[in-house]
Amino acid sequence: MKRTEGVLSDGRRIIWFDESDDAARDAVDRRGLPRLVSASQLRFDPLLGEWVAIATHRQDRTFLPPAEECPLCPTVAGRHSEIPTSDYDVVVFENRFPAFGGADAAGGRCEVVCFTSDHSSSFGALSPARVRLVVDVWADRTAELGELPGVRYVFPFENRGAEIGVTVPHPHGQIYAYPYVPPLPARMLAMARAHAEATGRNLFADVLSAEREAGERVVLAGRYWTAFVPRAARWPVEVHLYPNRRVPDLAALQDAERDEFADLYLDVLGRLDALYDAALPYVAAWQQAPARPDRDGDRELAHLHLRVFSIRRAPDRLKYLAGSESGAGAFISDVLPEAVAQRLRGA
């Protein structure tokens, strides 16, 4: 992997990650953008004990541009994009419309990860070598962002599909480096801490072991990874991918684990698209340990895993978060997890 750093015309950082060592990434961003000024605020909800980001500048972010105006495609003659080179493998840059934080990372940082220069492609259409490169990129950003003094939690994710709310269809994901541990991982870590105090064992490892032993919800099982539908799945389609060895974060994965993940994840994505014989809208979200330095000892409790879920519950129906889910935070599932796992195994 070749890593090349640069700076966009408004001062934002950009990093090229290439499969080939002879890739030349010396182009200059000639757009003359004004310096990035974030209007984000973090406000604390005392009733729920959670932080909420107020980011009014995001109202003006790019929204469903035509393909010829895509900001994530390479720069070509007569049209400048966020990537000032004529091609690329994987590119990471600071978000022009961050949900929070800024260049100093005092309030966190938001980055965009472009998986390919091919506008019409998708993550599931990438080669295993390209997915392997993306894993290395996620690991690189997890390690570096996690060392920033204002960052507590690094969260790589991908939103795919208009139904999910994607506003730029070019294959890409994002990385949020939060200045706090978000509610979902914080809750999981609290449960893991209680489990460890009661049993002396790791909760995530126990869940993985139980799923592998039961087998009925396992979709794929490799030497280093297991993909399964969780017993209490909240979403109509939901698959969790765990490394069989407990590691805290992406940076801790060994080469063999990264290699197998590329093949296994592509297999899972292919099965998801085969469910309804169409591209499945999904969110793919990495759950990992809090960033270093870990003030609470949670890195010893965490177990890296990827959660992939979709709101599609039938070929022509979506799962909306209505009264119970949105109003009370209580999920009600319309499908049986064991049935979803069986369908995915046979897809």
> Per residue in 56-87, pLDDT tens?
888 888 888 999 999 999 999 889 999 999 99
Cα end-to-end distance, the chain, whole Å:
34
**CATH fold label, 184-346:** HIT family, subunit A (3.30.428)
Q: How far apart are CA 16 and CA 82, in angstroms?
A: 12
Is 226:240 a contact under the CB 8 Å cutoff? no
Whether 140 shows a pLDDT value over 70: the answer reads: yes
| Annotated active-site residue in 170, 172, 240, 303 | 172
pLDDT value of position 297:
78
Specify the DSSP element, H or E, that contains 341: helix 337-346
Q: How far apart are CA 225 and CA 265, in angstroms?
A: 9
Nearest in space to 94 (alpha carbons), one of 148, 136, 42: 148
Q: pLDDT tens for residues 173-225?
A: 999 999 999 999 999 999 999 999 999 999 999 999 999 999 999 999 999 99
| pLDDT band, very low/low/confident/very high, at 102 (cuts 50, 70, 90) | low
pLDDT value of position 295:
64
| pLDDT band, very low/low/confident/very high, at 40 (cuts 50, 70, 90) | confident
Q: Which residue has the higher pLDDT, 178 or 102?
A: 178
pLDDT value of position 60:
84
Whether 292 shows a pLDDT value over 80: the answer reads: no
Residue 46 is which amino acid? Answer: P
Give percent of the chain with pLDDT exceeding 90.
88
pLDDT value of position 277:
95
Whether 336 shows a pLDDT value over 90: the answer reads: yes
Whether 245 shows a pLDDT value over 70: the answer reads: yes
pLDDT value of position 90:
98
DSSP state of 58: G
pLDDT value of position 264:
98
pLDDT value of position 80:
94
Mean pLDDT of the residues in the chain: 94
Nearest in space to 105 (alpha carbons), one of 174, 35, 186, 176: 176
Whether 92 shows a pLDDT value over 60: the answer reads: yes
* Residue ranges of domains in the chain: 2-183, 184-346
Q: Among 92-106, 169-183, 256-270, 283-297, which is the least confidently predicted range?
A: 92-106
Tell me whether the CATH fold assigned to 2-183 matches the one assigned to 184-346: yes
pTM: 0.96
Q: Does 172 qualify as catalytic in the annotation?
A: yes
| pLDDT band, very low/low/confident/very high, at 239 (cuts 50, 70, 90) | very high
- Out of 3.40.50.620, 3.40.50.1820, 3.30.428.10, 3.40.50.300, the CATH code matching 2-183 is 3.30.428.10
Torsion of CA 205, 210, 216, 218, to 10 degrees: 10
